[in-house]
Amino acid sequence: MKPGSGATRQRAAGRAEPTTFSAERARRDFPILDQKIHGQPLVFLDSAASAQKPRQVIDAISRFYERDYANIHRGVYDLSLRATRAFEGARERVRAFLGAREAREIVFTRGASEAINLVASSWGRPHVGPGDEVLVTHMEHHSNIVPWQMLCGERGARLCVAPIDDRGELMLGELERRLSPRTRLLAVTHVSNALGTVVPVAEVVRLAHARGVPVLVDGAQAVPHLRVDVREIDCDFYCFSGHKLFGPSGIGVLYGKAEHLEAMPPYQGGGEMILSVSFEETTYAGIPHKFEAGTPHIAGVVGLGAAIDYLESQGIEAVAAHEHALLDYASERLSALPGLRLVGTAPGKAAVVSFVLEGVHPHDVGTILDQQGIAVRTGHHCAQPVMERFGVPATVRASFALYNTRADVDALVRGLEKVREVMSG
């Protein structure tokens, strides 16, 4: 199905007008941020868990349901054609966003987790056997550990782990040493959700490919913060979730090189993923539809397309520069607080500060900050091995998105001073 010309024009418009980025102006696009929590203005510092949605995305979804909704790839009537055009137009936008060669290399999933599970199942089962190895790193989110653990358990393979150093950086030499003749796949995060470390994935892919090992990159934390080009990275698979990219939850993306996707068996059976069905035999559809059984989250895909348009209209490079400055400012101000230790101090980081406060459990910090309207994440961030590596049960994590400003950091610092005051009785 070719993307409609309307969608293509929309994308071009999104790309063509990157204005000078202003976080204060971007902030006004997010209606949810304009409210008080416990009588204090909301300071939202948990975008790494899930980002808020701009008016543009909310409106795109409403408009789609109000005017263009029908099931896709089915009807001969106008509505269905419009819905299909919007859906496939979004696929084309995702392709351009990731720099993929072809739109059919873009598979819609429920999220990054499902994308990883899809690869573990459809690519992993035929390729990973007894005595083989799957390599991950010590800073993976549970989503990029558990599916491989399940696959290894099922196939009698071994899950190997590349270590990180005390700053939270991937140790490339150690990773290289763990790429053995039995390594069938390397699964690595692009940006660590718990530490903020940016992994030099292009370099990692080169190391792996030199030994004939394909690579899956988990880009869930990367796409809202840096320009991704899957052909430059040359990874075999790349995945992300819509909800961290200012889009709806329940929608995500798997990019796979066409030759891999073509060779892989379907992940789930159902409608949409077939060419013809009889009780004797089913002929599967081509990619990407082979991997999209059942009626998908159509409005979610439309919302994701709108979210990409939104981010492109702000200018990803400008957003990245803003967030980087904010991260430096936050690291500097937080480090100056007595008893505060940053967890994850890699030189290359994106939008995340994780820390512990001496003598105060992160959970207590979270409650006291919430009373001041400040939303942070506390806990293990679905990355228990990272917590264990740094010898802490949990951390406080403040994460930034394009709508955060220095004022948010200042509020966090004041909030932490209040934490000290409350906890010292």
Partner 1 sequence: MSELRELYQSVILDHNRKPRNTGAPEGANRLASGHNPLCGDKLSVFLRVEDDRVADVGFEGSGCAISTASASLMTEAVKGRTRAEVEGLFGGFHELLTGERGAAPGPALGKLAVFAGVREFPVRVKCATLAWHTLRAALAGSGATVKTE
Q: Site residues (CB under 8 A) for partner 1?
A: 360-364, 367-368, 371, 378-380, 384, 387, 393-394, 422-425
β-partners of residue 398 are: 353
Residue 192 beta carbon to partner 1: minimum distance, rounded to whole angstroms:
18
Nearer Cβ to partner 1, position 364 or 410?
Answer: 364
CA distance 216 to 254: 10
Q: How far is the CB of 5 from partner 1 (least distance, A)?
A: 49
For residue 221, CA distances in Å to 5, 83, 181, 196, 353 come to 31, 29, 30, 8, 13
Annotated catalytic residue 152: no
| Closer residue to partner 1 (CB): 251 or 396 | 396
Closer residue to partner 1 (CB): 277 or 422: 422
Position of tokens 């393979």? 157
Question: Among 160, 235, 239, 382, which one carries the catalytic annotation?
Answer: 382
Distance, in Å, from the CA atom of 134 to the CA atom of 318, rounded to the nearest integer, reads 37
Least CB distance to partner 1 at residue 161 (A)? 20
Closest CB to partner 1 among residues 304, 394: 394
Reference 160, options 144, 141, 178, 173; nearest CA is 178
Q: What's the min distance (Å) between Cβ of 310 and partner 1?
A: 32
Task: Select 286 or 359, whichever has its Cβ closest to partner 1.
Answer: 359
Dist CA 204 CA 188 (whole Å)? 9
Tokens of 220: 């869930």
Nearer to partner 1, 333 or 361 (CB): 361
Asked if residues 238 and 217 have their Cβ atoms less than 8 Å apart, the reply is yes
Calculate the alpha carbon distances from 24 to 28, 189, 246, 406 in Å. 7, 30, 17, 10
For tokens 């940016």, what's the residue? 198
CA distances from 21 to 217, 253, 293, 311 (A): 29, 27, 40, 11
Instruction: Give me the DSSP letters along 107-133.
Output: EEESSHHHHHHHIIIIIHHHH--TT-E
Half-sphere exposure of 209 (CA within 13 A, CB side): 13
Min dist CB 357 to partner 1, Å, is 12
For the bound state, the minimum distance from the C-beta of residue 122 to partner 1, rounded and expressed in Å, comes to 30
Identify whether the C-beta of residue 11 lies closer than 8 Å to the C-beta of residue 85: no
Active site residues: 382
